[in-house]
Each structure stands twice: as C-alpha cells, then as structure tokens.
Amino acid sequence: MNTLYSFRRCPYAMRARMALRYSGVPVEIVEVSLKAKPAEMLAISPKGTVPVLDAGGRVIDESLEIMRWALAQNDPQGWLLAGDSRIAELIEANDQGFKVQLNRYKYAERYPEQPMEVYRAEGAVYLQRLEVLLNDRDYLLADHPSLADIALLPFVRQFAHVDREWFAQTPYVRLQAWLQRFLESELFTTIMKK
Ligand SMILES: N[C@@H](CCC(=O)N[C@@H](CS)C(=O)NCC(=O)O)C(=O)O
C-alpha cells in the first residue's frame, strides 16, 4: 500500500495529491499536523516537510518527484507532454521565483523593506507570463492540462486569494478563467475534501 503524508492546505501537498488522484494509483492519505509531525514520517524523511510518499518502501519526499512518479505509473491524458522541456522551466520559475514573491506578498508585514505593492507587482510579472501562454489556448502548454498547470495551480490560487478583489480587477482574464476552471474541477474539489 502507498501512503502519502500530507497537509490539506499545503500547496506542495495539493499538487502531489492531484497527480496521485489523476493517475489512479491507490494511496492512503495521512493528514499530519505540521506542529506535531508523526514519528513514522520523520523516520523515513527526517527533513520534515510534506508531502512524503511511502510507495511500498520507496520514499519520495519532494512534491514534484511524487507527481512524476505518479504519472510514470499512469498518465491517461498525457500530462507529461512527451517530456516537453517547457514544463520544467515553468515549474522551476514557479518554485524558485514566484513562490518567493508570493511569500513576501502574503506576509508583507514580515518584509518591511518594501511595501506590499512592490512584492505583488514582482509576482504579477509571472502572472503576466502565464496570461500570455493562455492567449490562444485554455491550458498553459497544450489544449489539455499538463504537469505544469497542476504544479503551478496551488501557488497561483494562493496569490489570487491574498486579495481576491485585486486579482479580479487585473487584466489577467484568461488566467482568472483558468484558475476558476480548476477550482471547480472534480479533481481539485476531491483532493480538498475534509
Ligand atoms: N520542496 C518541497 C517543499 C515542501 C514544503 O515546504 N512543505 C511545507 C508545507 S507547505 C512544509 O512541510 N514545511 C515544514 C513545516 O512547516 O514544518 C516539496 O516540493 O515537497
């Protein structure tokens, strides 16, 4: 049996749960408290971040690797896009750049060097990049979801939800529709059920 140590609201855990669910690989989800992580989880992954997948003894404790592991088992809609290198680039820009800007924007009071609007504008450069990709299609890299859409989704969602009114009045209308479509999807609502 596969076990996923997860935290419902963690964006990394969300993307891992979406990929696992999509692949249909059976997995037991263990909801952990980040303040009291289970000893069984720390025993197999001492770094103490979620998600952690225990796939019958093989431990994977990076969300992107969990996603790739799930898709290697089963990828019915072709989320891997036959190894399209733009996937890795977009995810790298999210995980290394946009995520940092998101944190500063969301917790601007902890970064008093700049006003919140500066952090938001920095993050918006990435949103603009996504908007351009969505110009002539409904998903970022193809006419169906890919690994990139799913890996980015929880972070774009967080950014949008810091100030929903601000996000709603941005010119990123294709991105707004993209986000809304995913938030209402069976895949997302299922992995967010309590
Ligand atoms: N690079 C890791 C990052 C995972 C991560 O940072 N998860 C956060 C929660 S969203 C965490 O577990 N932080 C440890 C803690 O809060 O104690 C991945 O992609 O899985």
What pLDDT digit, counting tens, does each position of 94-114 carry?
A: 999 999 999 999 999 999 999
Contact 31, 56 (CB under 8 A): no
In this structure, what CATH number is given to the domain that contains residue 61? 3.40.30.10
Tally of domains in the chain: 2
Q: Which atom of ligand 1 is nearest to the CA of 34?
A: 17
How remote is the CA of residue 69 from the centroid of ligand 1, in Å?
A: 18
Contact 175, 6 (CB under 8 A): no
Residue 132 belongs to some domain of the structure: yes
Q: Quote the Cα angle for 9-12-14, to 5°.
A: 55
What pLDDT digit, counting tens, does each position of 67-101 carry?
A: 999 999 999 999 999 999 999 999 999 999 999 99
Q: Is 116 exposed, middle or buried (0-12, 13-18, 19+ CB in 10 A)?
A: middle
The residue-averaged pLDDT of 49-55 equals 98
Order of strands across the sheet with 58-60? 27-31, 2-6, 52-55, 58-60
Banded model confidence at residue 30, pLDDT cuts 50, 70, 90: very high
Verify that 12 and 47 share a domain, yes or no.
yes
Contact 147, 87 (CB under 8 A): yes
Residue 116 belongs to some domain of the structure: yes
What pLDDT digit, counting tens, does each position of 115-169 carry?
A: 999 999 999 999 999 999 999 999 999 999 999 999 999 999 999 999 999 999 9
| Identity at 62, one-letter amino acid code | E
What pLDDT digit, counting tens, does each position of 153-167 carry?
A: 999 999 999 999 999
Verify that 63 and 117 share a domain, yes or no.
no
- For 45, the domain range is 2-76
Report the pocket of ligand 1 as residue ranges, CB < 6 Å.
Answer: 7, 10-12, 34, 48-51, 62-64
Verify that 68 and 37 share a domain, yes or no.
yes
114 DSSP 8-state letter? S
How remote is the CA of residue 120 from the centroid of ligand 1, in Å?
A: 22
Residue 194 belongs to some domain of the structure: no
Residue 130 belongs to some domain of the structure: yes
Residue 193 belongs to some domain of the structure: no
CA 83 vs CA 138, 146, 147: distances in Å: 20, 11, 10
How remote is the CA of residue 51 from the centroid of ligand 1, in Å?
A: 7
